[in-house]
Amino acid sequence: MNHVTALYHALEKEEKLHHDDIYNYAIPNAWNMYGYPDKKNLRSREILVNPYRFYLFTLRHILMDEQGKVKKSIPFQDAKASKGSWLKKSSIYSLMVRTATAWDHDRDDALPHDNLYHLSDNGTFLKSILLIPYLKRMGINTILMHQPFALSKTQTPHTYAAKECVRSFTDIDETLHDPLVPELNVLEQCLAFIEACHMHGIRVLLEFCPGKLARDNTYYQKHPEWFYWMTYDELRNYHAPICNALPQNTIPHTYALKDFYRSEDVKAHLAFFRNAPEPTDMDLAAIEKLEHITIAPMFSDQINAHLPVDEDGTVFRFFEDFHIHVPKNALPANCAPYLMQDSIRYDLHPGKKALRSLWDMLNETIQWYQQTLGVDGIYLEKTYLLPEKLQKELVKTARKGNRHFAMIAEDTLMENSSAWVAKGFDAISGNSGYEETNIWDFRFHTFAYRLKGNACPMFAASEFYDARRVCSLENGKKLMIMLSVMNQFLPNGIPMLMNGVECFEVQPMQLSEYGDKKYLSSLPKEDLRYRQQAYLDSYYFNYRTPDLNVLPSLLERCSAIRNTYLDAISKEESCVPVWFDSPKDFGIGYSFILEDRALMVICNTNINTASHLHIHTENLYSELPFTVAEIHQIFSTSDPYIHDVPQDSFRNLPLDFECGEVKFIEFKASKSTDGQKA
């Protein structure tokens, strides 16, 4: 806990220097979790504080024990688990540090890194420590930290480049440094945050996207051969080549390449590219001016996608040679390495001769994450940009450094799970964030019941960062509550909450190019964040909403019950699906069996009207190892009381549900059981 200790003592020094300074520094009242007394309340659900005194007071409660010493870390109960199997018992919160604790502290309607008080309105690692008790209350035991690395300047109208457009995979973003503690640099503050998470029994996963990065990165000067280069003057004509012989959004599989390479647009595109220059000390702007070449921008991997070029980002060139599936005689003589839809997809079209220095750098980066940052796992994003051999290498490197290190692959196709397990990965992202909200065509039903037999765990999330937010939909709050609770109890599901879910945010965070642009206008025009996106613009989450306590309170109660049944939830053989009268009933449920009790979790997926559900129990009773003596409703998202639950003559449960309601029904054994089945 060296960095936590250093952070706290450095803040103590700064507090003594600024103890008597006068500040009108505003924070959400919700951040005052330990009753800081020296404050002024505002009608806006904010308080005015001296930031040095407030943060020191709060961190004292979070980090220090009653004797004034740094708290000891809570040991991970599953530390002896093999590989990343601890993921099966994890509950994840997806955190973008820059946005999570951003706030207009000086109330000037802007979020600068250097505000009126020369402090940061951005989210920082120090302020993120304040969220730890809040997240633990919601049952969170793992944080997925989106890439905290320095971004390039953007050519878009947004404030920031996309989160994948990092300049380096090891340079922490200076804007995440908190000026409250100038004594510690941004890396040290990052390490203090990770240590604080571990102190409270929260693991940290790091998002890593080695396939995409900024064009203006820190690697091209020493290793220009790692990138695709093109004539600078042709940038105005540069676009993703099209092929009229193929349909829209064609994946560049091998069978499509013969027609693709015959396209005149493809032939013109290939002429743009040039061989890499020699290593240099010049920056990209100087190379463009003097040598008239530049790093080629990235575009969609799908043929005829008709999407704009990503002027901020590019991809690595992982092989020295052209890929093995280029049609015969398709390339002109002396063709330079080129970036195109098929060459982007290294998972489909690998070369034969790896650029070994590049592969070694990425493997060393994994080691740096383990040894320097001390994170507990990697979420490998945009895996389709990586050759399969490199995917396996990264897993091997990770496990060599830490056999408990978790590796999660981004892949939305459930049917690919077995392939990722064979490569050594522990889980995949899956498609829950795009499927679960489709309750009226029963796609949530399909996802929930297919999940049990999947080859590996998947995220169980109601939304992803690049999708619409659930609360922007009709009856979105009810839907969000229902999904957030149910996701805690899906076998093979890793429950994951997106940043800002507790604030019932409606604005997308980084809407995909394929997303419906109408969701960008989810906020009213008078809101300063109108048409802004949390991961692309200066943005704060609305911690002033009067409903801020609703979801955390529910998750606090249900996570306590989940922990009681966690061993059963994480074992497929202990999970029994719940059936209803018809597959078209608005009901989803699972039962989880322990030695002397069982828990049935059921939801009404109809968020508009109440429903009567006839719950069949024959498959549950056939699995129970005990005689049932009591049946109680112990939790509901609509009813705070405990009730006895009636059965019909067939021992089924006829229950009425409010719209979107989730109920927990507990079956208990008789106290003097004879060990026989019911």
Determine which of 48-62, 337-351, 663-677 has the lowest per-residue pLDDT on average: 663-677
Please tell me the distance from the alpha carbon of residue 177 to that of residue 114, in angstroms, as a whole number.
Answer: 11
Helix (H, G, I), strand (E, B) or coil at 579: strand
Residue 115 included in any domain: no
pLDDT tens digits for range 121-143: 999 999 999 999 999 999 999 99
Q: Which of 310, 332, 356 is the last residue of a domain?
A: 356
The 8-class DSSP code of residue 372 comes to I
Q: Write out the two tokens for 629.
A: 């003596």
User: Which amino acid is it at 615?
Assistant: I
- Contacts of residue 203, defined as CB under 8 A and 6 or more positions apart, other chains included, come to 76, 86, 90, 141, 142, 143, 197, 376, 377
Q: What is the pTM of this model?
A: 0.95
* Structure tokens given for 80: 């002896």
Q: Is residue 650 part of a domain?
A: yes
Number of Cβ within 10 Å of residue 280's Cβ equals: 14
Contact 559, 603 (CB under 8 A): no
Q: Is 60 left (phi over 0), alpha (psi -120 to 50) or beta?
A: alpha
144 falls within a domain: no
3-state per-residue secondary structure call for 436-503: CCCCCCCHHHHHHHHHCCCCCCEEECCCCCCCCCHHHCCCHHHHHHHHHHHHHHCCCEEEEEECCHHH
CATH number of the domain to which 620 belongs: 2.60.40.1180
Q: Which residue has the tokens 């939830």?
A: 569
Instruction: Give residue-wise pLDDT tens across range 136-171.
Output: 999 999 999 999 999 999 999 999 999 999 999 999
For residue 227, name the pLDDT band (cuts at 50, 70, 90): very high
In a domain, 397, yes or no: no
| Residue 218 covered by a domain | no
SS3 state of residue 154: coil
Q: What is the pLDDT of residue 673?
A: 45
Domain count, the chain: 2
Cα gap 291→289, rounded to integer Å = 6
What are the E-state strand segments in 225-277? 229-231, 273-274
Residue at a domain's end among 356, 378, 403: 356
Q: Is residue 36 part of a domain?
A: no
Phi and psi at 517, nearest 5°, equal: -65, -15
Q: Which residues of 530-565 are buried (b: 16+ CB within 10 A; e: fewer)?
A: eebbbbbbbbbbbbbbeebebbbebbebbbebbeeb
Give the pLDDT score at 79: 54
Q: Which domain holds residue 341?
A: 224-356
* Residue that finishes a domain, picked among 309, 334, 356: 356
Each residue's pLDDT tens digit, 486-542: 999 999 999 999 999 999 999 999 999 888 899 999 999 999 999 999 999 999 999
Residue 678 pLDDT grade (very low, low, confident, very high; cuts 50, 70, 90):
very low
DSSP code per residue over 202-217? -EEEEEE-TTEEESS-
Residue 523 is assigned to a structural domain of this protein:
no
* Mean confidence (pLDDT) of the chain: 94
Cα dihedral sign, 525-528-533-536: positive
Compute how many other C-beta atoms are within 10 angstroms of the C-beta atom of residue 513. Answer: 12
For 473-484, the pLDDT digits (tens) are 999 999 999 999
Residue 269 belongs to some domain of the structure: yes
